[in-house]
């Protein structure tokens, strides 16, 4: 499996590695090539195709592996320096550098769309998939996943799955082999949450509500457009069962702790006042 790159996690028994789901799609076997020349077989633990993530497990034959330190993608800023490591065109251990070009990009993949990606101009080519995107301190901030290029080679537009999402998905893949978070039935945007915080409103700003979904049944209200094109907040979720929410990213991470069918109590900001709203989570 030499067309992608993997990243070590230290697991409780055998190390696990995260890569892209498209790297191992259709593979009949997976081999891990180590820097000391060893080639070890790996087993598939689970995949989350909707985020292009997969987890493999490998027996290192008694040796240890040093995992990368996780960063926080929520702290990223446009213009920040980044480094990408991969195996472009079969050239092992290749390091390229660049900056964060944009945040919260959406790209189509398969029959869906991956949201909230990091865009970078660090050279990413075929073979970089699944490799780490690092900050200048060497901390993981994303998993390289795709490029935009008519020629198939790097054109300075690459995308990475943000590490905050990876930290939500990978533990579930390790535990169960699948990622099936419960659904509240709302849409949010971290950029809008940031703007709201600057105006003194903290939480996950509800931008839309799925008709017939849990939020709709609970009576939650989405934001509206003002006549001048701005956004007028409707409901802003600030707590889930007492746990503080500062953004939609926090909300997603907390909902991962629940199962479909669970009942939760939301603390919601509406029209300058807070109120509690009960909701029942649904299956995806």
Is 73 a residue of the active site? no
Contacts of 131 (CB under 8 A, 6+ apart): 4, 5, 6, 7, 84, 85, 86, 87, 143, 144
Cα distance between residue 208 and residue 185, in whole Å: 9
Which member of 22, 73, 135, 250 is catalytic? 22
Is 92 a residue of the active site? no
Residue 121 contacts residue 157 (beta carbons within 8 Å): yes
Compute the residue count for the chain.
Answer: 284
Is 22 a residue of the active site? yes
Which member of 52, 135, 164, 189 is catalytic? 52
Which member of 73, 101, 121, 129 is catalytic? 129
Cα distance between residue 6 and residue 144, in whole Å: 10
**Residues with a known catalytic role:** 22, 52, 129
């Amino acid at each position: 499996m030499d067309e992608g790159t993997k990243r070590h996690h230290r697991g409780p028994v055998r190390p696990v590695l995260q890569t892209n789901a498209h790297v191992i799609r259709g593979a009949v076997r997976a081999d891990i090539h180590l820097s000391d020349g060893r080639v070890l077989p790996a087993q598939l633990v689970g995949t989350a195709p909707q985020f292009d993530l997969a987890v493999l497990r490998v027996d290192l034959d008694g040796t240890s592996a040093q995992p990368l330190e996780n960063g926080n993608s929520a702290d990223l800023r446009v213009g920040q320096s980044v480094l990408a490591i991969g195996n472009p065109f079969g050239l092992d251990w290749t390091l390229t550098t660049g900056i964060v070009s944009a945040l919260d990009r959406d790209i189509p993949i398969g029959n869906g769309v991956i949201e909230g990606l990091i865009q970078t101009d660090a050279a990413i080519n075929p073979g970089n998939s699944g490799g780490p995107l690092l900050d200048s301190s060497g901390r993981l901030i994303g998993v390289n996943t795709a490029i935009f290029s008519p020629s198939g080679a790097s054109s300075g537009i690459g995308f990475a799955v943000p590490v905050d999402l990876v930290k939500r998905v990978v533990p579930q893949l390790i535990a169960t082999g699948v990622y099936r978070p419960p659904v509240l039935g709302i849409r949010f945007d971290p950029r809008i949450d940031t703007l709201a915080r600057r105006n003194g409103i903290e939480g996950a700003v509800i931008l839309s509500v799925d008709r017939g979904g849990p939020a709709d049944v609970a009576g939650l209200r989405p934001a509206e457009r003002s006549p001048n094109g701005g956004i007028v907040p409707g409901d802003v979720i600030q707590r889930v069962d007492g746990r503080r929410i500062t953004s939609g990213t926090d909300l997603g991470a907390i909902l991962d702790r629940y199962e479909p069918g669970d009942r939760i109590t939301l603390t919601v900001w509406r029209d300058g006042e807070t109120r509690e709203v009960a909701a029942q989570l649904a299956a995806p």
